[in-house]
Structure 1
Amino acid sequence: MYQDIPVKSLIEPTIYRSFEEAIVGSKQVSNLQKKLDHINGKTAIEYGFDGITLKLYFDSQFTLRVSIADKLIKWDVEKTINLEASRLDQNYTFIFPNGEKFKWGWDAVFSKFIGKQVAISTSDQYLFIFYRGGPEFMFSSLVNSENDTDHYLFLAEA
């Protein structure tokens, strides 16, 4: 069953006030990227998703956590302590401002990663993920255009 939700993008472009500020932002991303060594090229074994946060578990005993915070996609790689495979029990049809409808069958998308080698690449605003032999996906965040407290983590082919 799909629930219809009118949405708009929650991500706002990062605007740097100076070249120096852009360099600092770039260094922060670079420091985080070192954590990707724990999961890039490793096999995804399970996932948990609650609509706002995705936890993708790897055979390396590390977890990729992706969530929405401050109108940005936030992510981190952490040592797996508990494998929590709880999942949202609802699928959505997102209705964008231009009238386009997109059925977000998240389980079908995330399940494609299980049992496959995964790679992640990032920038200061976006997070991309793909599995061996598959397409590249980009994480995004959406907000209910009728209730700006309802946010949704979204993954679509880039």
Structure 2
Amino acid sequence: MTHSKLKAGEVAGTYHVTSPVTETDIITMAKRFARRKLAKGRKITQPAQVFEYLRLLLQDYEHEVFSVLFLDSQHRVIRFEELFRGTIDAASVYPREVLKAALAYNAAAVILVHNHPSGDPEPSDADRRITERLKEALGLMDIKVIDHIVVGSEGCKSFAELGYL
């Protein structure tokens, strides 16, 4: 797909399709826009702001993917990165690697994100345990875990909104 199929409209955030597009083109464009919404400098004030972008990026994987939104002290995005890939129902997450990446990006806070290929975004006991371990490890370096979002085709669940953090 080329950018020539899309032209900016007169109103900000609107576009005109200038030539025929396939479903794949549309999905590719949507994912590109979602990544842009999670781009460096974008301020995240509440989890629901990023739900639709994360769903678009993660819901179609057939395996678990554990990602992190690294944020500065004003909760602006430094980087969104997929750190671990797993199987259909689990991903090994290593707190040391998450901490290393957070320090490398000089993050003050993080939003943890992973998908459930089953489609059900309900957090598991294992999800809660790894969140506690990450909160503990990152907390030692004064990096705040502000949320852990589980993405499924049925929606997203926020640990912060569920009262788990």
Query: TM-score normalized by structure 1?
Result: 0.25
Q: Choose between structure 1 and 2 for higher RCO, CA contacts under 8 A separated by at least 6 residues.
A: 1
**Relative to total residues, which structure has the larger helix share, 1 or 2?**
2
Question: Bigger radius of gyration, 1 or 2?
Answer: 2
Larger strand proportion of the pair? 1
